[in-house]
Amino acid sequence: MNAILSFTVAWFRRARSIGFASIGIVMIGTILFETPQTLGQQEKNPSTYAALAEAPEKARRRRNPFEGDTQAVAAGGKLFGQHCAECHGRKAGGARQGPSLQREEVRQAAPGALFWVLSNGVVRRGMPVWSKLPEPERWQIVAFLQSLKPQSLNPQSERPASN
Amino acid sequence: MVARVIPKSMRQRFPGLTTLVFCLLFCRSSFVYAQESPYIVTYDHYLEEPGSLEVEYFSTFGTQRGGNDFHAFWAEFEYGAKAWWTTEVYLAGQTTFNDSTIFTGSRWENRFRLLQREHIVNPVVYIEFENTSAADKILKEVEGHDVESDYAIPNAVLRKQHDHELEMKLLLSSTFKGWNVAVNPIVTKNLLPSEPWEFAYAIGASRPLALKASPNRCNFCRENFIAGVEMYGGLGDTQSPGLHNTSHYLAPVVAWNLPSDWTFRLSSGFGLNGNSHRLLLHWGISREFSGFGEAVRRLFGGRP
């Protein structure tokens, strides 16, 4: 055990500078060689909206407590701009990192399914978990999403939001 | 990183180049409203959003019996490499009053989300390599038999001792009805074979002051504030486990998430026994740069 630890210490000492250089290499490599799908590719990919169908029945049946509440739609729009627009575009029409949320798949989804996806994220596809937002705020975002007008069939990628 | 991207000779010939590259990276990133937790020591299970860089500055002011009070400070660069992986670099220093100001070392931290979806308890694995001197006083965690008297030694003595440590935490966190509860068991190993494994803990609970967002942009809305409390301390080591000769702190914490993309955090830690500093005042400021990864990719000729 001591021999292993001695070797580890010696290795860390020798590799200190190499180690810190490798941090940069790993991070830059991750950034540079990752090739996310374009908006068009995302939307043609049938699995893009598949997470909505994965919502369990119990989650899907949940009703939005803010249904028909215009104040909640406005608040949801504000929250969308703060947390979601960077990836999904300012008008939710999609951007490089996230697909359009103006599609029929989203509009026709049960509010509970949208809430479930928002809460659980789609970690394997790069969408973070948003349960750090309190439950009422997540429902406000769902109210906003369901108030969006449908997008044309040939969507144009919009610029990500920036302040 | 900018320094690595541009060779030294180029930087000397074109002094504005570093600034230009810096601007290209940060100005092409956009700011995003962050919903940061108020904890300073405890971690919840939420990771940095993919492609975002969060730049943070923190301070620790500590009172010291039998020595000089101190102000330690550190910068954090936290990058969301994937939705399941956040990597972070720390640079730390400290000023001990009536003594000196010194750089105390660096840390490289990685957090990995283990489960794809949300569960009642969400585990995240935390692994950190520390390359610090014994003069490090940021007190980002309290481990093993760390006690107040360790920090009374002059900087000139402490800085001669270099520590290479591996720190591992299991971040267990749960969010329910707006409340977040996080529990972090901590294990640390100084890589010298003679040093024992050290144990520690950090627990925290927090909640936003309002759970519903208001429709208008506002600075002082209750939804922008998250308040809570955290408790942390040492649990001994493999040679001498237990609570004897350990220090413990209880700290009310608050975070203010501004719509202008800044987050302020304040934590006032009170020592719970005679081995603890009477007061550890932590405060910090952070800003998130969303799309940083994308900006870097474009800088290197990546596909727009």
Higher pLDDT, A45 or B291: B291
Structure tokens of B233?
């301390």
Q: Which of A5-19, B6-20, B245-259 has the highest mean pLDDT?
A: B245-259
What is the arithmetic mean of pLDDT over B175-187? Answer: 97
Backbone angles phi, psi at B287, to 5 degrees: -145, 140
Residues A23 and A102 in one domain: no
Residues A117 and A140 in one domain: yes
Contact list in B for residue A23 (CB cut-off 8 A) is 87, 89, 108
Residue of A nearest to B291 (CA): A86
Mutation target for A interface from B43, B107, B117: give the one with most A CBs within 10 A: B117
- Residue at A56 is within a domain: yes
What is the arithmetic mean of pLDDT over A79-96? Answer: 90
Residues A71 and A86 in one domain: yes
User: Do the Cβ atoms of A124 and B212 come within 8 Å?
Assistant: no
- Residue at A158 is within a domain: no
Residue A81 has what pLDDT?
A: 92
E strands, B179-224, are 179-190, 197-208
Number of domains in chain A: 2
Question: Above 90 in pLDDT, residue B28?
Answer: no
Given a contact cutoff of 8 angstroms between Cβ atoms, the answer to whether B175 and A103 are in contact is: no
pLDDT digits (tens, 9 = 90+) for B266-281: 999 999 999 999 999 9
Contact list in B for residue A50 (CB cut-off 8 A) is none
Question: Above 70 in pLDDT, residue B17?
Answer: no
Report how far Cα A72 is from the mean position of its chain's Cα atoms: 21
Mutation target for B interface from A82, A124, A140: give the one with most B CBs within 10 A: A82
Residues A78 and A28 in one domain: no
- Residue at A154 is within a domain: no
Q: Which of A118-132, B8-22, B196-210, B279-293 has the highest mean pLDDT?
A: B196-210
Residues A124 and A48 in one domain: yes
User: Do the Cβ atoms of B212 and A120 come within 8 Å?
Assistant: no
Residues A53 and A26 in one domain: no
Tell me, yes or no, if B214 comes closer than 8 A to chain A by beta carbon: yes
Question: Above 60 in pLDDT, residue B81?
Answer: yes
Question: Above 80 in pLDDT, residue B302?
Answer: no
Selection from B257, B244, B252 nearest residue B281 by Cα: B252
Residues A69 and A15 in one domain: no
Given a contact cutoff of 8 angstroms between Cβ atoms, the answer to whether B290 and B26 are in contact is: no
Residues A92 and A16 in one domain: no
Residue of A nearest to B47 (CA): A128
Structure tokens of A14?
């020798």
Residue of A nearest to B292 (CA): A31
What is the arithmetic mean of pLDDT over A121-131? Answer: 92
User: Do the Cβ atoms of B296 and A71 come within 8 Å?
Assistant: no
Report how far Cα B68 is from the mean position of its chain's Cα atoms: 24
What is the arithmetic mean of pLDDT over A19-38? Answer: 59
Question: Above 50 in pLDDT, residue B3?
Answer: no
Given a contact cutoff of 8 angstroms between Cβ atoms, the answer to whether B236 and B242 are in contact is: yes
What is the arithmetic mean of pLDDT over A45-66? Answer: 89
pTM equals: 0.84
Residue A163 has what pLDDT?
A: 40
Scanning chain B, the segments in alpha helix (DSSP H) are 2-5, 8-13, 16-27, 155-158, 292-299
Rounded to the nearest angstrom, the minimum Cα separation between A3 and chain B is 8
Query: Rounded mean pLDDT of chain B?
Result: 90
pLDDT digits (tens, 9 = 90+) for B107-123: 999 999 999 999 999 99
DSSP state of B245: T
Range of the domain at A27: 2-33
Burial of B235 (0-12, 13-18, 19+ CB in 10 A): buried
User: Do the Cβ atoms of A134 and B211 come within 8 Å?
Assistant: yes
Amino acid at A115: F
Rounded to the nearest angstrom, the minimum Cα separation between B212 and chain A is 5
Higher pLDDT, A87 or B61: B61
Residues A89 and A57 in one domain: yes
What ipTM describes this predicted complex? Answer: 0.85
E strands, B45-178, are 53-62, 70-82, 85-96, 101-113, 122-133, 162-176
- Residue at A70 is within a domain: yes
User: Do the Cβ atoms of A27 and B49 come within 8 Å?
Assistant: no
Residues A23 and A52 in one domain: no
Helix, strand, coil share of chain A (percent; to 5): 55, 0, 45
Q: Where does the pLDDT of residue B4 fall: very low under 50, low under 70, confident under 90, or very high at 90 and above? A: very low
Residues A20 and A79 in one domain: no
- Residue at A125 is within a domain: yes
- Fold of domain B34-288: Porin (2.40.160)
**Between A and B, how many residue pairs show a Cβ–Cβ distance under 8 A?**
140
Residues A101 and A29 in one domain: no
Residue A121: how many other CB atoms lie within 10 Å: 21
Which CATH number belongs to the domain containing residue A100 in this structure? Answer: 1.10.760.10
Structure tokens of B77?
């660069």
Structure tokens of B183?
């529990």
Tell me, yes or no, if A159 comes closer than 8 A to chain B by beta carbon: no
Contact list in A for residue B193 (CB cut-off 8 A) is 1-2, 5-6, 9
What is the arithmetic mean of pLDDT over B293-300? Answer: 83
Tell me, yes or no, if B299 comes closer than 8 A to chain A by beta carbon: no
Q: Where does the pLDDT of residue A1 fall: very low under 50, low under 70, confident under 90, or very high at 90 and above? A: low
- Residue at A152 is within a domain: no
